[in-house]
A = this chain, B = another copy of it.
Amino acid sequence: MSRYGKRAGLIVHEEEPFNVETGSAALAEGPLTATDAFYVRSHGSVPEIHPAEWRLRVHGVVERELDLSLATLREAFRAREVTATLQCAGNRRAGLIAIREIPGEAPWGAGATGTATWTGVALADVLALARPLPGAAHVGFDGADLCPEAAPVQCFAGSIPLDKACRPEVLLAWGMNGEPLPPVHGAPLRAVVPGYIGARSVKWLDRIEIRSTACDGFFQHVVYRLVPEDGTPGPGEGMPLGLVALNADVLSPADGETITAGPLEVRGYAFAGGERYVARVDVSLDGGASWSQAELLDDLGPWAWRHWRIMLDFAPGEHEILVRAWDSSAATQPEDEAALWNPKGYVNNARPRVRVRAAPA
């Protein structure tokens, strides 16, 4: 067991702040990711919070400010459960770094994502008690984790539109996969914003601000923005990320693996993001000249990815497995990974390619 209750064998990008990625084998275990294998993306140290002393302040453009204990949150609101995929905006950055370096950013593979069942209260119910006033348009989340990389140094924060905040799937969560939320995942309370980049599911929540404008902090106004290839990240530069873009990857076989020629099951995930669902996943062994449809596995509801599988026959020799997912708008992924390169290495959602060698049986 490594730190923070995580199992051995995770891909550690950084010990402090703690940043670990789930390996493909652990993701392939099933559509729900085990808590001890779930990725952790943090920008500051895990803060020490005493649950009995902790309070959640709700303020800003509201009729009634709130100051709630964990006990009140649990007693005053209906408990809700949502199964949701979280995905870091830097998922699959390694593919972009292979094209051109991205200084200061970790080479996350395709495991900066995972799916869990989250338990808590609906943010909408808390907002209903606070009663947003006319002019309220965004809901900001403030964490307790001080982030040395931010300029100026500040706690992690982010906001979502009020319209999304009022939908029932957005939780203030204290539970993860049927157990208490572990400290490394944001205990005592975190936001869970299904369909949005992981950065909006702010951990170690201690303040919710109802605002007329989007969060202007470092982690929304300076980073977690898509800047054009030839642009320079800076305050307000590029487009703010929010909804997750359609993405997919192969979980098995691994890139570079030597397999035995003959039939082999190929497995992976696809995630539509936003309010969309995965409608189809195609796999090609001939560079996209022809495609076969993969079987979509367990449907865990509108906020979760879909695992998929397909049996393919591999002749002896070199192969490239090419995948494209389609979302419910019949949109599919872009082909060219190189053309997606951007200075911070976000949103690599190019069609994944996995090269394998099939050795004669």
Interface positions of A (Cβ within 8 A of B): 226, 228-230, 239, 241-246, 273-276, 279-280, 282, 288, 290-291, 293, 326, 328-336, 339-340, 346-347, 349
**Contact (Cβ within 8 A) A288 B339:** yes
B residues near A330, Cβ cutoff 8 Å:
226, 239, 241, 243, 245, 346-347
**Contact (Cβ within 8 A) B243 A326:** no
A339 to B324, CA, bound (A): 11
**Contact (Cβ within 8 A) B276 A239:** no
Interface of A is mostly: loop
B residues near A331, Cβ cutoff 8 Å:
245-246, 331, 334, 347, 349
B residues near A349, Cβ cutoff 8 Å:
331
B residues near A242, Cβ cutoff 8 Å:
328-329
B residues near A332, Cβ cutoff 8 Å:
334, 340
User: Per a CB cutoff under 8 Å, which of B226, B243, B335 touches A334?
Assistant: B335
Most B C-beta atoms less than 10 A away, residue of A244, A280, A330, A334: A330
A336 to B349, CA, bound (A): 16
7 other A-B residue contacts (CB within 8 Å) besides A244-B329, A331-B349: A226-B330, A228-B282, A230-B290, A243-B330, A245-B330, A331-B334, A333-B334
